[in-house]
Structure 1
Amino acid sequence: MSTSSSPLRLRRVEPLTLAIGVSMTVGYGTLYYPFAILGPVIARDLGWSNSFVFGVFSFALLSSAVTASIAGRAIDRFGARPVLVAGSLTATATLVFLSLVSGKPAFIFAMLMIEIAGRMAQYEAGFAALTAIHGAGARRHITHVTLLAGFASTIFWPLIHWLLGFMDWRGVCLVLAAVNVCVALPIHALLPGRRGADPRLSSALPLAAAAPAAAVLSPDRRRMAFLLMAVSFACGGFLMSAVHTSFFVIMERIGRDAALAALAGAVIGPMQVGARVVELATGGRIASSVIGVISSLGMALGLALLFASRHLEGQTPVIAFAVCFGVGQGLAFIARAVLPVRLFGAIGYGRVTGNLAAIRMVFTGAAPFLTALVIGQAGVSAAFLMLGVMAAVGTVAAVLLCGLERRANRHAAAGGAATGEPA
């Protein structure tokens, strides 16, 4: 992977990359982040318990593990564009359907379809499109996209709060559906197909001319690398899902008010973007696996600071948590995108990332339910213990993966770089 880029080249965002960044912002802003706000509102309006609503959310996330693997294989077979277009159409139709539900079976179906749409219209599909277009040079473009999409919660949480000031949650769902069909769908429809880039969006070379990324790992090391990657990504997904869905509850249990929780939540978004800016400025000189280690350490340190805030006065420990956790979260998405192509190569990228996403989504889906259950049955200290174990396991896996990449790099430098199909 090239590590030399001029500062000007690093700063320039190609129109195609900018467009995908906007569509990914819409994908997360309309399909993932709204639930933290709309979930309790829906429960209150329909007379359901929060535990039922969040239980359905967890079940939908769990079910998307199957969808992630299927979507990854579809990307390899048909290309990213049709999958992304299908995702936008599914998102639009499902949000319209959600605005009409009044019973539990319909709500469960809607949440399942939202997660299916997410697997087709969020990062995995967008990263696959960039990898197909730019080959070995995709890392810079992936970072640009995550930089833009990092503002999804910063944009959509205030927007949804504002909309709820003069319309009900059903109207908000219709607005989110309109954003998908008016913004994301046209972008995805104009993406380059397998043969080349649309000149209206990108000056990139045709797909056939893009230099494919070669695998750095020898075949005998790929199975272990896949396992370590799966563990690291799954633990990170668990932590992010648990914190995003239970943060206000955790803050209440440790004696902190909602205003401070909202302030900390507002800090996380800019910090994950800031971390991506720093990664972008390095021009890819930091090894992909090191990005994963920094990500895991950032989230682990953040959780330790949040736990310490139980016994420390003032806002500083909570804000420090938000800074560290935001950095870790921001780099986690980059690690998920660049590590598979770095270690396994570009061939079969959709299948590998789909399989990794399937494993990660099992943990991501279980996190809201398990966290709420542990807090309710055993208390917030037990919840911190569970999150701490997940953070430690994820960090150890990331460190071991870093060792694998370092050994592979030394082998490649000695003239023994591996090639071939991903495991």
Structure 2
Amino acid sequence: MIARLSPARRGVTVAALGTAQTVSWASSYYIPAVLAVPMAESFGLSPVWVFGAFSMALVVSAIVGPWAGARIDGFGGRGVLMLSNLIFAFGLCLLATAPVPVMLYLGWAVIGFGMGIGLYEAGFATLAGIYGKDARGPITGITLIAGFASTVGWPLSGIMLATWGWREACLGWALIHIFIALPLNAWLPRGSEALPKPATPASEGPSPSRAALWVLAFVFAVTWFNATAMAAHLPGLLQAAGASTAVAIAAGALIGPAQVAARVLEFGLLRRFHPLASTRLAAAAHPVAAVALISVGGPAAYVFAIMHGAGNGIMTIAKGTLPLSLFGPAGYGQRLGWLNAPARISQAAAPLIFGAALTGWGVHAIWLTAGLGMLALTALLMLKRN
């Protein structure tokens, strides 16, 4: 039974889950940017080893995602999200106390498990269990809040690092999970106890819905490859295009605000349209931005960053809203886990692959991500709205 909550309770639910998601993203996906170097130095390693451990965590999250989604479908998301906070805290404590690199990798593997059951996919599935097909607005709402995870997480990690050290920073994030995120997730409505599983087609051949699942999995893998590649190499790419270091850094700083602004646009204007329309718009943003960068060079750095960030912001919402619109809430959590498993793996590979392309081709490496973006747009044009 889908929960019927008042608008006021809905707003508080979105605020609670969005804040908990901010903690989960800030303490996992965004800590390597600040803590990877001191982590590596304390063991006498290159930072590449720490980033390798983070890539392993992404693969672990891809493996456990479908299982977590199935649990949420069957029992609601509150318990799974609470478990994720405990697992995140445990993994962060392992990092903080790791005496040898092997334990560091074990800590990241545990964090990867937490990512698989505690990031957006789990949050989206939880909202689908609570609100059913009306979850589009709440899904957009939590991405608006958690869109500030890097804005909050990077400075807070930096303050804890400068004040105490990287191990204590990890312990600090573990405590934040226990005393802030865990109570917020515990407060969430229970939602659906058992959404029905989708009916299995009688025919042995691939059904249109199954073909659509493959298309969406490809789109999400491609777009998240591009997003992660840009997150890792954007300053270097813009400098290769002719931008100064200062301009490259300033342009990169616009990605976050562009993502949030695009999500506000989706929440206000674009939600009047089918999610497929906004997803196509998001997929087109990166290729168009790439053409501008190649054509104009360094002066287009700001345009590129804003367009790429806006497209990425809307695509994050589309990961939750488009499958919900096309296939409904039945079996949504497990389906979302399978859809995003390839995306997690592509994220793990993106920094290495695009870094090699940037080294070998310079600014023309952008044609790699632009081409992938065009393939994603073409695939989306093949889909039909329900």
Residue 392 in 1 paired to residue 374 in 2? yes
Residue 140 in 1 paired to residue 127 in 2? no
CA distance in 1, matches of 2:156, 2:293: 28
The residue that corresponds to 2:69 in the other structure is: 72
Could you tell me which amino acid in structure 2 is paired with residue 177 of structure 1? A
> Against the structure 1 CA distance between its residues 383 and 82, is the aligned structure 2 distance closer, same or farther, given a 3 Å change threshold?
same
Contact 1:55 1:369 in 2 (8 A): no
TM-score, scaled to structure 2: 0.89
> Against the structure 1 CA distance between its residues 285 and 385, is the aligned structure 2 distance closer, same or farther, given a 3 Å change threshold?
same
The residue that corresponds to 1:336 in the other structure is: 319
Q: How many residues align?
A: 376
TM-score, scaled to structure 1: 0.81
CA distance in 2, matches of 1:262, 1:23: 29
Percent identical residues: 33
Q: State how 1:347-358 maps to structure 2 within 5 Å.
A: 347-358=330-341
Shift in Å, 1:54: 2.3
Deviation track 1:40-75 (CA, whole Å, cap 9, x = no partner) reads 332234322233332332233223221112212222
Contact 2:20 2:181 in 1 (8 A): yes
Bigger CA drift: 50-59 or 86-95?
A: 50-59
Could you tell me which amino acid in structure 2 is paired with residue 384 of structure 1? I
Could you tell me which amino acid in structure 1 is paired with residue 179 of structure 2? C
CA distance in 1, matches of 2:24, 2:177: 8
The residue that corresponds to 1:154 in the other structure is: 151
Deviation track 1:173-229 (CA, whole Å, cap 9, x = no partner) reads 12211221111111111222246xxxxxxxxxxx79x9x9x99xxx93201211111
CA distance in 1, matches of 2:158, 2:294: 29
Shift in Å, 1:389: 2.3
CA distance in 2, matches of 1:266, 1:382: 22
Shift in Å, 1:253: 4.5
Bigger CA drift: 49-58 or 263-272?
A: 49-58
Could you tell me which amino acid in structure 1 is paired with residue 112 of structure 2? E
Contact 1:275 1:331 in 2 (8 A): yes
Deviation track 1:387-410 (CA, whole Å, cap 9, x = no partner) reads 222222112112222xx11xx4xx
The residue that corresponds to 2:303 in the other structure is: 320
> Against the structure 1 CA distance between its residues 283 and 252, is the aligned structure 2 distance closer, same or farther, given a 3 Å change threshold?
closer
Secondary structure of the residue aligned to 1:284 is helix
CA distance in 2, matches of 1:15, 1:242: 35
Shift in Å, 1:271: 1.2
CA distance in 2, matches of 1:285, 1:12: 23
Q: Gapped runs of 5+ residues in structure 1?
A: 1-8, 196-206, 409-423
CA distance in 2, matches of 1:366, 1:319: 26
Secondary structure of the residue aligned to 1:14 is helix
Shift in Å, 1:249: 3.8
CA distance in 1, matches of 2:61, 2:362: 28
Q: State how 1:404-419 maps to structure 2 within 5 Å.
A: 404-405=384-385, 408=386
> Against the structure 1 CA distance between its residues 35 and 26, is the aligned structure 2 distance closer, same or farther, given a 3 Å change threshold?
same
The residue that corresponds to 2:354 in the other structure is: 371
Shift in Å, 1:257: 4.7
CA distance in 1, matches of 2:292, 2:10: 35
Could you tell me which amino acid in structure 2 is paired with residue 400 of structure 1? M
CA distance in 2, matches of 1:114, 1:248: 28
Shift in Å, 1:373: 3.3
Could you tell me which amino acid in structure 2 is paired with residue 69 of structure 1? P
> Against the structure 1 CA distance between its residues 360 and 12, is the aligned structure 2 distance closer, same or farther, given a 3 Å change threshold?
same
Secondary structure of the residue aligned to 1:193 is coil
The residue that corresponds to 2:48 in the other structure is: 51
Q: Which has the higher helix share?
A: 2
CA distance in 2, matches of 1:346, 1:119: 20
Shift in Å, 1:262: 3.3
> Against the structure 1 CA distance between its residues 165 and 256, is the aligned structure 2 distance closer, same or farther, given a 3 Å change threshold?
farther
Residue 285 in 1 paired to residue 272 in 2? yes
Shift in Å, 1:364: 1.4
Shift in Å, 1:77: 2.5
Q: Gapped runs of 5+ residues in structure 2?
A: 1-6, 200-205
CA distance in 2, matches of 1:221, 1:117: 33
CA distance in 1, matches of 2:246, 2:69: 40
Aligned-CA RMSD value = 2.8
Could you tell me which amino acid in structure 1 is paired with residue 88 of structure 2? A
Deviation track 1:125-153 (CA, whole Å, cap 9, x = no partner) reads 11111111111211111111111111111
